[in-house]
A and B are shown apart, each in its own frame.
Chain A
Amino acid sequence: MSGSISHADPASFRDPAGRVFVKDGRVYRAIYESALDDWTFTVSSGFLDRLAAAGRIVSFETVRSDTLGADAGDPPLVLEHSRLPFVSYPYEWPFKALKAAALHHLDIQIEALDFDVALSDASAYNVQFIGARPIFIDLLSFRRYREGEFWIGHRQFCEQFLNPLLLRALVGIPHNAWYRGSLEGIASADLSLILPFQRKMSWNVLAHVVLQASLHRSAMAHDDMVDARAIRKISLTRPSFRSLLVRLRRWISHLVPAGDEETVWGDYAKVNSYTSDEVAHKRAFVAAYVEQTKPSLLWDIGCNTGDYSALALEAGAKYAIGFDFDQGALDGAFERARSENLRFQPLFLDAANPSPNQGWRQAERKGLRARADADGLLALALVHHMAIGRNIPLTQVCDWLVDLAPTGVVEFVPKEDPMVGKLLKLREDIFPDYSVETFASSLGSRARIVRQERVSPEGRTLFQFDRQAR
């Protein structure tokens, strides 16, 4: 078909059976000859229709096979998928999101067995979210189950789902930083090294982490003694396969973060320096902004437990993504999104070090800014953490915020506020220019200040900006 060029998704190269393409803003999946039999079988089993109807996998529709043309290597079959509001990665997910994704993957596998269908891998990147609802996106992972086959994706499942969850549940370390540096997940051998002895004494930990790592290590060390051909013929009965999945599911469903959970910010919505009048004032300001601009994608930087994202959705925003670096707050936010069924997705982010372009050719996993164009922004009680907490010049903070979205609301917290007082308590004040006047003039030189309101006696001030109206 004529028209514009199809671009292959740079993350879709591992499985040669198919590829994802983007053309005119629409998402297509090319399925090549080698995968055709498995695809036909899976579709005729009725399993995919059932999952798609329940919104558990991304929806798909067969389109003309020449839709992508020679750019895509003339695939015999082309599907079109609905677009997701935002693509996120497991190293950005809070614990509860990673856990929900792991359970989603296992549930699909367990049910698939009844349809004689299996999954060819267990990549965490194949699960995405709409709000707090997980959705499986890689339809080419489904293929015919062969009687006696073992679970090919087991190791990948452990590295990309189980081990990162155990890191937080058993040791208390959040998975995000480690996972971001190690895109394939956390190796069992590495996790095994840092698990305390008493944690290794659980049967599940012993089997899936310690024993797996030690079997792998000794098999590698005594390569000549292991008959690879015999290993490739391992058979696992269907009941054993199912029982492996069901047991893992039961175990993971009970995992909770270690010391659950007294983080600094989790209670922030309750314990902060605002009075209820100030909160009402702030809420009214944000609601007015959202009603006026109706953003389709709103970024809430420093979202805490999602109070203002929830408010923005009520006021007419279509989708909100919240970013925070506090694990307790993020878990709270995820729980809120799930229980209230909000189109709100909380993600881990250190605003001074946002997710970069990385992976193969630095294009496989995109940086935050390259992934979406937000058209609305909330940055409440954030600027002082960047400007004073991280020494980022105020003008650069303004540059960054104004570049993120064309319109937004930013809160400035002055030195007189007790929260800034805490940041300066133990250090020299090297910020003579940190004032509401400097901030206003800096913001004003980059965007039009639509409204400005002081919301606390100490001088907390809200600014609504519009970059395009300048």
Chain B
Amino acid sequence: MVRMNIWSMNRYAYVLPALILVCIFVVYPIIYNTVLSLQDKDLLKPESGRYVGLETFRELFKDKITWVALRQTALWIVGASSMGLLLALGIGIFLSLDFPVNKVLRGVIVLPWILPPLIVATGWRWMLQPEMGIINDFLRRLHLVTGYPAWLSTKERALATLMFVMAWRLCPFLSLMIMATLRGVPTQLYESASIDGAGGFQQFRFISLPFLRFPLIVGALLTAIWTINEGFTIIYITTRGGPGESTEIMSTVLYKLNFLYFKTSKAAAMSLLNLLILFGLSISYLVFFRKYWLRGVEG
């Protein structure tokens, strides 16, 4: 009995260092941020910092930019994740095939994923430059565009272009996940289906896709989380939220509120909203993952 107690205490001792770190670097900042959001802290007003309840949130929701940012954040998450998934699906299927070149491509494909987001954003900013960028040069050589389209200077194109950049960054991880899943599908299934007269599309629809359900859903949730986390760097470096406010998302607005406007409490309130979205997505991911894992364990 005593030995059991020591054993169970040991178990807790092993997780204690991690728990302490999580408390210091995750729990404490969240609590501090919540306290800040309930105050009226404005760095330009030294007398500020009083408790005001939910007043800061009320003010935040009165601002037009909050609603613009919320709407565009939703668009950003859905758009960038969907583009990333579609790109990854195509690349993943291609990489799962037995072409000799794929052995090299499977290594090269991770490049966008391992590059720091700052480098990705700066690189794309130059590549998308209308006159000197490689993108327009390439498109002009293929006679796909005339003149010098400005990808980041028009309200209609900027957000979609940046979604593509984000998708480009995210798709390697998903592609490899999809490729690994497809290569794990028993070949006998395809052979049997082929004997039964199933065509390529039917084989994909009824054999590959059911196997891909898990990586696709997990991938969608993970990319949604990553688009929020990395969206700031991609957008801030390339457009700073412009043209006008057309690429402002919650993280760019909360950055401005804190570092340009010095409205600390408002920024804290905005970051809590951001956190809530991330929390919702993370919980969905965990619930789904657990359900799927339990199903696997139970056979």
Check if A and B associate. no
Question: Which residues of A are interface residues toward B (Cβ below 8 A)?
Answer: none
